[in-house]
Amino acid sequence: MRKPIVAGNWKMNITSAEAVQLVEELKPLVADVDGVDIVLCPPFSSLEATCKAIRDSNLLLGAQDMFWEESGAYTGEVSARMLLTSGCRYVILGHSERRAYFGETNQTVNKKLNAALGAGLVPIVCVGERQQEREAGITQKIIQDHVTGAFEGISAEQVSGVVIAYEPVWAIGTGLTATPGQAQEVHAFIRQILTGLYNSNWAQQVRIQYGGSIKPENAAVLFGQPDIDGGLVGGASLAAGSFAKIVKGV
Ligand code: 13P
């Protein structure tokens, strides 16, 4: 049985003080939730404050990105160990916004994935097609490239600990959620790719989240699909009430 995972990607929102407030509002709303990994991914500057605020709760901490080197002259970057020592257990890698605005490629995602696993972080690897790619009928090719590129050289033992987030770019922040059928189809395809790269036993262990305009109204039906193991939530994770409802939709 795969344990569901719902993560809130706060993106470039929420100061430290706002993070503490949001966590304090969220904690009682999800205190009775059991059997779901609930992860908050603040910007780097709010990690420490969020870490303190979630102490003694069922909330977990993740970061939105990292660099693959351990240390050195890489202005503006943060290493896996820095994230671990700031209380992170998870790290999002290859988000489509990083691919679109910051030059992230399948190769850089692969380097980061290796470094994150080596350091003991749980990576959340994002994959997903853009609108024009879906319209051109090449969704499967894009997903295949994203998955095989990211997992190049990653062993079967390592892959079972990785989370994949399927986030169709056309659904992110647009209000256009993929239908449960559309999402399930791609999730099943991702599991098929993993079965080919490793085997079905390993592929069955990988948790695959859906992301893209998840709301309290659509979460439960998406999470009810056989290959959808939770969600990566953007906008709706910025309000405690809506995020809690989504977590309870698992
Ligand atoms: P929205 O939920 O705002 O569409 O964002 C999804 C996302 O990009 C999460 O990483």
Q: Which residue's CA is the closest to the ligand 1 atom numbered 1? A: 234
Task: Report CA(197)–ligand 1 centroid distance (Å).
Answer: 28
The full length of the chain comes to: 250
d(CA 93, CA 173): 18
Average pLDDT, the chain: 97
Number of domains in the chain: 1
Of ligand 1's listed atoms, the one at least distance from the Cα of 214 is 2
Residue that has been written with the tokens 């859906």 in this structure: 210
The CATH number linked to 112 is 3.20.20.70
Say whether pLDDT at 1 is over 90: no
User: 118: CA distance to ligand 1 center in Å?
Assistant: 27
Is residue 91 within 8 A of residue 61, CB to CB? The reply is no
- Can you give the pLDDT at residue 3? 97
In whole angstroms, give the CA distance from residue 87 to residue 52. 9
146 among known catalytic residues: no
Say what the pLDDT of residue 94 is.
Answer: 98
How confident is the model over 40-91, as pLDDT tens digits? 999 999 999 999 999 999 999 999 999 999 999 999 999 999 999 999 999 9
Residue 189 belongs to domain spanning: 5-247
| Active-site residue, 95 included | yes
Cα separation, 66 vs 113, in Å, equals 10
Set 104, 129, 133, 167: catalytic member: 167
- pTM as predicted: 0.98
**Residues 118-130: tens digit of each pLDDT:** 999 999 999 999 9
User: Which is it for the CA torsion 40, 171, 36, 114, positive or negative?
Assistant: negative
Using alpha carbons, select from 86, 236, 239, 245 the residue that is nearest to residue 171: 236
Over residues 237-243, the mean pLDDT reads: 98
25, 95, 135, 157: which one is catalytic?
Answer: 95
The mean pLDDT of 241-249, rounded to a whole number, is 97
